[in-house]
């Protein structure tokens, strides 16, 4: 498959109002893509769009407000995107949410919220927009999984379930779409400095002190600039890589899971114990 041509059509990015999504939008604009940006945060999305328009006045750019937890709203936006942007070259399913707490500390509604945003919306948007991608020679699909699509630590049952699901879904699509010329990349970011920890929901059964301690430990791992992560991802797309790991905090756990797939939890627990002692 040839190197991906960013300038040949429009790119759809979800979760584009901050973090990796915002950085991807800027990186795509620099590479010549027209943009279709989706997010639920109106003010932040407007600010991102204004900055891109100021820096790249010749790029066509559209924004859509949508809460991806709402399946009906997601369907409406997908139809609008497909109608207004028939030449889709790239779909980046980047939006994600987090939930703190063990499985027995969260409600099923809280669990389902994570699955809805992180997995069901990915499936729904991909299903709706895949015909447009298949009609555009050399198109590409990017689904953002996570470090926790490689390993599944305690306290991340909902998030890990959603991100492992994204990984499996994406790998199957890579094999299904190989013969029709659509590239597929699964991205596993490590500790990217985004708002995901600060904006995460807390399970109803999680003591506040317990959650705050875990959040502080997790935020110490978020050291990679989103702009750097976006460049790694876009280089992977350009080269049509099927799998992109971002940062040592993704590559080392990936290796650990390969070497000790059933027992890496003990290593993680030891590392978290040391983190607690250091904190």
- Residues labelled as active-site residues: 159
Say how far residue 81 (Cα) sits from the centre of its chain.
19
137: tokens are: 């020679």
Confirm if 253 and 150 have CB atoms less than 8 A apart: yes
DSSP assigned state of 116: I
DSSP states along 173-202: HHHHHGGGT-EEEEEEE-SB-SSTTTT-EE
Separation CA 131–CA 151 (nearest Å): 32
Say how far residue 46 (Cα) sits from the centre of its chain.
20
Separation CA 62–CA 80 (nearest Å): 11
């Amino acid at each position: 498959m040839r190197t991906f041509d960013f300038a040949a059509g429009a790119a759809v990015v979800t979760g584009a109002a901050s973090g990796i999504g915002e950085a991807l939008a800027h990186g795509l604009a620099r590479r010549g893509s027209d943009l279709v940006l989706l997010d639920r945060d109106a003010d932040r999305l407007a600010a991102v769009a204004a900055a891109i328009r100021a820096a790249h006045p010749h790029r066509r750019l559209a924004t859509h407000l949508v809460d991806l937890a709402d399946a009906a709203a997601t369907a409406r936006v997908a139809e609008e995107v497909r109608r207004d942007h028939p030449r889709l070259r790239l779909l980046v399913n980047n939006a994600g949410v987090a939930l703190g707490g063990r499985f027995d500390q969260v409600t099923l509604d809280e669990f389902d919220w994570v699955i809805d945003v992180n997995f069901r919306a990915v499936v729904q948007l991909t299903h709706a927009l895949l015909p447009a991608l298949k009609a555009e020679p050399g198109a590409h699909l990017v689904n953002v999984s996570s470090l926790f699509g490689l390993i599944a630590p305690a306290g991340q049952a909902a998030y890990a379930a959603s991100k492992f699901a994204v990984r499996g879904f994406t790998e199957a699509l890579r094999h299904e779409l190989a013969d029709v010329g659509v590239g597929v990349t699964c991205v596993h970011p490590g500790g990217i400095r985004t708002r995901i920890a600060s904006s995460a929901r807390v399970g109803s059964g999680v003591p506040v002190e317990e959650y705050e301690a875990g959040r502080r430990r997790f935020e110490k791992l978020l050291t990679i600039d989103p702009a750097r992560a976006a460049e790694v991802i876009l280089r992977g797309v350009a080269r049509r890589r099927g799998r992109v790991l971002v940062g040592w905090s993704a590559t080392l756990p990936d290796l650990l899971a390969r070497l000790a797939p059933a027992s890496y939890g003990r290593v993680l627990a030891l590392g978290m114990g040391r983190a607690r002692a250091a904190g």
